[in-house]
Amino acid sequence: MFAKMITGLAAGFALAGVASVAWAEDYSAASAPELSAAAVAAVDAEDADDLLAIMQEMQSRSMYFFEGDEALCRREPPKVGLLAKPGFNFGTARTAYQTFNKVQRLEEQTCTCPQAARSFEEFSVKFLGVMPEDISETEMQKLREYNIANKNAVYAEYRDFRNQTCREAP
Per-residue pLDDT tens digits of the chain, which is 170 residues long? 333 434 443 444 443 444 444 444 568 877 777 877 888 888 888 888 888 888 888 777 666 554 445 677 888 999 999 999 988 999 999 999 999 999 999 999 988 889 888 999 999 999 999 999 999 999 999 999 999 999 999 999 999 998 888 875 44
Does the residue 145 lie in any domain?
yes
Asked whether residue 114 falls in the same domain as residue 146, the answer is yes
Domain of residue 41: give its range.
Answer: 2-60
Asked whether residue 74 falls in the same domain as residue 33, the answer is no
Asked whether residue 127 falls in the same domain as residue 100, the answer is yes
pTM above 0.85, yes or no: no
| Residue at which a domain ends, from 32, 60, 88 | 60
Cα–Cα separations (whole angstroms), residue 91 to 78, 88, 120, 122, 147: 11, 5, 13, 18, 11
